[in-house]
Amino acid sequence: MSNSVNKFASDVTSADFDQHVLAASHQAPVLVDFWAEWCAPCRTLKPLLEKLAAEYGGRFLLAKVDSDKHKNIAQRYGVRSIPSVKAFVNGEMVDEFTGALPESQLRAFLDRLIPSPAQPFRLAAAEARANSELDVAFSLLEDARQADPNSEDVQLDLAELNLDAGNATAATDLLKPLEHKARDTKRLQALQARLQLVIAGGDSDPAELRARIDANPADFDARLRLANALALAQEYRPALEQLMEIVRRDKSWQDQAARKTLLNLFTLLGSDASHDALVREFRVTLARTLN
């Protein structure tokens, strides 16, 4: 196994494949890049993989196989077109892709494959959060950020924890940099939707708002604020019902604020499959009311 670029990226032959891929993958994930001299996309992909191997500093190893010179390995693993990259963990192939992916997609592939050093802290923080130990969870997530400063997951965890604590400013500061580069766009959008609820209804008194609505059913401001407060308390059906009542009575009130808040709630609830039926029900109701 020649050290052609750095100690984490090397050329592999038929003679040493089992040692430097299968055996080595018990210590760290190994990416095998099947390439050939004549392959133009290979000339694009290989330097990117070499760069990432150096950057990740041993969290994965890169094994480069010339598929023309070592056809037996390519046939053994069903390589039909190149570049073809196959990932090995604990002696088994666990993932693969074909073609020259851009760097952002390569990083996403690697992040799925390689456990982040922040993961133990994230798991402990999630347990603390479930036990309402927010201070402990914050401390653990700061440890997670130290372990992996570039982790999007840690940043989203911290934003979610700040929303639990009602700290909209801190959550905004964490979410804003991710707006145009997050890989987990579904989770980002759900947290942005929840942030809007915190901003709109975080300090409302539901009993006071209900009294206002009882006195004046057309008090749409009270209904909107109550809907936000109910959603924050995870009382989603009554929140949606309050918003639908505004739409029924006045679709255009405050530049369709109720409809926009309904869509915001649909985004929030859409991140959890257990709410699918509720979202479908109110999407249909909204469509019928607007048409």
User: Which residues have a catalytic role annotated?
Assistant: 39, 42
- Distance between CA 98 and CA 180 in Å, rounded? 26
- Distance between CA 43 and CA 84 in Å, rounded? 12
- Distance between CA 15 and CA 75 in Å, rounded? 15
- Distance between CA 112 and CA 156 in Å, rounded? 16
- Distance between CA 189 and CA 274 in Å, rounded? 17
- Distance between CA 141 and CA 147 in Å, rounded? 10
Give the amino acid at 264.
N
Alpha-helical (H) ranges within the chain are 17, 40-56, 71-76, 103-113, 119-130, 134-147, 152-164, 168-175, 185-201, 206-215, 220-232, 236-249, 253-269, 276-290
